Structures are given as C-alpha cells and as structure tokens.
Amino acid sequence: MRWNFRDSLYLAAALCLSLLSTGCALHESPYTKMDNWAIRQNATLRHFAPYDLIYLPMTQLKPGEDSPMNWHKYGLAERGYNLAMHHTTRVFGKRVRIFAPFVHQVDPATYRDFLDNTPPDVMTSPLAFAVRDTLDALNHYFRNYHKPGRPFVLYGQGQGARILYEAMKRCPNISRRNGFVAAYLPGLVGIPVDRIHRDLARRGIRPAVGEYDTSVVIAWNVCDWDGNDAAKQPDSFVINPLNWQTDTTEAPASANRLSVAYDPTGDHTIKQQTEYQQLCGAVIDLDLGTLRLVPVPGREQELAQVIAQGTAHGLFTGNIAENASKRVRQFIYQAQWHDEIPPVIPSAPERPAVNPPPTVPIQQ
C-alpha cells in the first residue's frame, strides 16, 4: 500500500481527534513534576488503600500576598504541604491514597469579589487559572494513577471547594461508572440543588440526601451562632455534616468527632495545628442558606478563635473522614453485589447457653 501526503494528514488529524476525545492533553502536564504537588500518593500503595482522596485546600494566601498564588515562592509550598497534611493524612489515616495538587488560587479579597459578582462563565473570572490547573492535575491522576472503577473521593475547602466543583463539571472522568464516590465541599455557596442536577446528573451524580448515598455532592457553608461570617445565599444546597440530613434538625456537639484548625498566618509548622473534640453542634438555617454553629456553653471563645482564623471549614473534618469510609464501603458493596448495605447491620444472635451436664449422684 502506498501512502501519499494527503493520507498522512488524515492520519495525523485522526490521531489528534482521538487524543482529544479521550481527554488527553497534547502537551506535557506540569503535574508530571513533583514540585507541583503538596502530596502525591503519600506513602500508601494502591493495593493497601480502599480508595483515593483528592484534596484542594482553602486559599493559602494571606491578605496582601500576590495573587494568583505562586507556590515556588519561599514559604508557600511549605504552607500548602502542612495544610494538606493536617486535613488529610493526620485525619484520614494511612489507609487512604492522597493527592493534593498546588493550583493558582487567588487572594481572599479577590475571591470575595468573585462571590459577590459571579460571572455566567467562571472561565472568564480570576478563578479560571485554578480551574485549569485542577483539570490538568485530575487528568494526570486519571492517566497515571487511577484504574477504571477504583473508588475515589474529592475534598475541597472554601475557595478549593468552588474550584473543585467547577473542575468536576468539565471533567468527564468524574462519574459513577469510573469510581466517583463523593465530593465533600465545605464552603461551597451559591450552588442550588437544581443546578447540581443540571451540571452533573448525566454522569450519575446528584446532591446527597443522607449518610450512605454514593456518587453525590456534599456541601455546606458555616456562620456563627449570630448568623455572621458567611456568604448568605438562601438557595445554596446545604447538608448538616453532623447528622447528614438536609432538614432543620439540630445536631448536638457530641456528634462532632474532630475539628482541625490551622493558623495560616503562623510559621506553618505542626505547632500551628489545633484539634478540638466536640467543639460545637450545628443546625441548618434555611433563610440564610448556611449551617449555623451551636456553641458548647463555656467554649464560645475557642469557637470564635477558629472562625477568626478563617479555618471554620475544618470544624467537621473528623466527620468527613468517618463518613467517607462509610460511603466507600457502600459504593464497593453496590458495585460487587448490586445491592444496598443496610444502614444498621444487625448484630449476630447470642450464643445459646450450653446445657449443664446432668448431675449423677455419687454412689457410696
């Protein structure tokens, strides 16, 4: 068979279309370099981890720092690494494979302006750089680390939650069929239930309605007990992470497993992390579209300090880690047996009492 120049052009065009249709980039991803990850696969091998966790933190920039973030600048990579470690490895444990890419986040003031004046197309906003970075990191993960059907969980906080949601909309690999279990997005505001259905339902993804459903989006934003310090958008989808309900049932502080606070203005060492047990309860405020915190009497100052540091998105980190393992277990069970795990597995029946041996009188 003889090839001419026109046939070669057709073959090249077909190859390019094939690469684009499979989501492959025609350029080398910057995420092939370890320097662009806060955590890449930690020290846990795939065979010893039931699922993967992909994490995007809240903004790592302090007010006044250059935006978007340049993690090659002195101190920012260390800040991002410690932030990712505190909210993932130290809480989820070593039986989870973790990926935490650096992305070009914006400073807090720019993000607040974005929330107040969100354009119809986010890719024309200052968040476009971070969304592209996240898509690039996700594509690198799916090409090099993920096997089709392997369970994976997404976790974003604050600005990272919005960036991750926008990337989910544009990444066809995030689907139920491909192993997507849940996206935990504390700090996501302005996204109503019908929009989540419109953006993601075609891939089998929907808003969460309980503790065990899978392939779901899970989101909330917090305000203090007076309704302050929150972006108030009544139409926002909200679920209570202390009882995994979407109604106004109040969850007590006793249901709060672990709160993780990390001071982003400190020296970015382990000393800047503080953990709290049963710090607060929570109840959904439908009028504000947020999660209202319910303080424990006598611990209002501790809770106010966590909010003032801008780390309120870590108030329910322990509940997220615990619930993620439940949803992954449910997802694996559904995939293997096409059935649901009952929310409460009945305990085994008690062992019947052993009949005592008959007493035989001793003959003298």
Beta carbons of 148 and 47 less than 8 angstroms apart: no
| pLDDT over threshold 90, residue 12 | no
| CATH number of domain containing 322 | 3.40.50
Q: Residue 207 and residue 43: Cα distance in Å, rounded? A: 32
Secondary structure of residue 58 in the 3-state scheme = coil
Residue by residue, DSSP assigns 148-216 as TT--EEEEE-THHHHHHHHHHHT-TT-STTTTEEEEEEET--S--HHHHHHHHGGGT-EE--SSS--SE
Question: The tokens of 16 are what?
Answer: 């390019």
17-50 pLDDT per residue, tens: 444 444 444 467 899 999 899 998 877 766 788 9
Range of 88's domain? 24-221+311-337
Would you say residue 230 lies in a domain?
A: no
What's the CA gap between 172 and 23, in Å, rounded?
8
Q: Does residue 156 lie within any of the structural domains? A: yes
Q: Residue 38's CB: how many other CB atoms inside 10 A?
A: 24
- The confidence score (pLDDT) of residue 232 equals 63
Per-residue pLDDT reduced to its tens digit, 262-309: 765 555 444 566 788 999 999 999 888 889 999 999 998 888 888 877
What would the pLDDT profile of 54-88 be if each residue is shown by its tens digit?
999 877 777 767 778 888 887 788 888 888 888 88
300-338 confidence digits (pLDDT tens): 888 888 887 777 888 999 999 999 999 999 999 888 877
Closest CA to 254 of 276, 286, 277, 236: 277
* Nearest residue to 166 (alpha-carbon basis) of 142, 146, 144, 183: 183
d(CA 207, CA 83): 27
Q: What digits encode the pLDDT tens for the residues 175-209?
A: 999 999 999 999 898 899 999 999 999 999 999 99
Beta bridge partners of 294: 281
Answer whether residue 300 is part of any domain.
no
pLDDT of residue 358: 61
Enter the tokens of residue 1.
Answer: 């068979």
Where is average pLDDT lowest: 1-10, 79-88, 202-211, 341-350? 1-10
Judge whether 259 lies within some domain.
no
Distances (CA, A) of 31 to 125, 140, 143: 23, 7, 11
pLDDT at 142 over 90: yes
Q: Across the chain, which distance is largest between two alpha carbons, in Å?
A: 115
The mean pLDDT of the chain is 82
Where do the H-state alpha helices sit in the chain? Answer: 5-21, 76-87, 89-92, 108-116, 128-144, 159-169, 193-200, 300-308, 317-337
Q: Is residue 161 part of a domain?
A: yes
From the CB of residue 364, how many other CB atoms can be counted at a distance below 10 Å?
Answer: 3
Nearest alpha carbon to residue 188 among 166, 219, 167, 154: 219
Residues 213, 219, 298, 92, CA torsion sign: positive
* Nearest-10 Cα torsion for 327, 331, 333, 336: -170
Contact present, 209 and 197 (Cβ < 8 Å): no
Tell me if 278 is assigned to some domain. no
Q: How far is it, in rounded angstroms, from Cα 33 to Cα 77?
A: 14
**Residue 56 token pair:** 């995007």
* pLDDT on residue 249: 93
Q: How far is it, in rounded angstroms, from Cα 316 to Cα 64?
A: 29
Q: State the Cα–Cα distance between residues 330 and 340, nearest whole angstrom.
A: 7
In the structure encoding, which two tokens stand for residue 40, read together? Answer: 């890449």
Whether pLDDT at 360 is above 50: yes
Is beta strand 37-40 parallel, antiparallel or unpaired with respect to 222-223? unpaired
Q: Is residue 162 part of a domain?
A: yes
**Any residues with CB less than 8 A from the CB of 338 and at least 6 apart, and which?**
none
Inside any domain, residue 267:
no
Q: Is the pLDDT higher at 302 or at 247?
A: 247
Total number of domains in the chain: 1
